Amino acid sequence: MRFPAPLRRSASDHAIQQLRDGRPGESGYGRRIALLLTLPTFEDPVARDIRRSITGELYAVRTVWNRALDFATTTFNRDVRLDAPGRPVSIGVDLSSIRSPSLTSKQVPVDQEAIDRLLETVAAATVPCRSSQSEPPLDATVYELTFGEELNETRYRWHGDGPAEWAPLTTFASALVRLVDHHAAPVAR
């Protein structure tokens, strides 16, 4: 079945979904506990995936989408339409020529006790299912925090400092970024 053009996913949507999905085969090694995506406007998006292995150990996988590299190596197909007298009416850019996103993943050592404490604090938190937040500014960083996976997942999205009623989630996200990024190599931003 073919879907109308508006339902097709853009190259950016496809790359973000790959960040959400994690490394190929990673689910065979451990169960997802939490996933934090940071989606800044002017930097590369990063996924911090916390998993528990079959042996019970926690580990983190940090994946970066090298977005600037992908867009720098993309050839843009320009779609120019002419009206009856031959004047250009619209110019669109087709991003479908972008190859698979350049994702760099690395398993990062984490302080398992610190991650366990973080998970305990957020597990005991009470937050509303829905919060109101203004539209993000053009230069905002969007955060997406997912607990669990597949049918048992809960996902929260916010920008900036986040809604006040989600303080336990934003505190968890900030601490997780510090813990995971502290051990990340500079190459894998």
Q: What is the mean pLDDT of residues 129-135?
A: 84
Distances (CA, A) of 176 to 81, 181, 183: 48, 8, 12
Mean confidence (pLDDT) of the chain: 80
Rounded Cα distance, 46 and 111, in Å: 20
**Sequence-distant (≥ 6) Cβ neighbours of residue 22 within 8 angstroms:** 32, 35, 47, 49, 61, 63, 105
Regarding predicted confidence, which is higher, 102 or 142? 142
pLDDT for the residue numbered 93: 47
User: Any idea where the domains of the chain sit in the sequence?
Assistant: 5-68+100-184
Q: Which pLDDT band holds residue 149 (cuts at 50, 70, 90)?
A: confident
State the pLDDT at residue 102: 83
Instruction: With a cut of 70, say whether residue 187 has pLDDT above it.
Output: no
Q: Give the pLDDT mean for 87-96.
A: 51
pLDDT computed for residue 129 by the predictor: 86
| Sign (positive or negative) of CA dihedral 65, 66, 68, 74 | negative
pTM: predicted TM-score of the whole model, two decimal places: 0.77
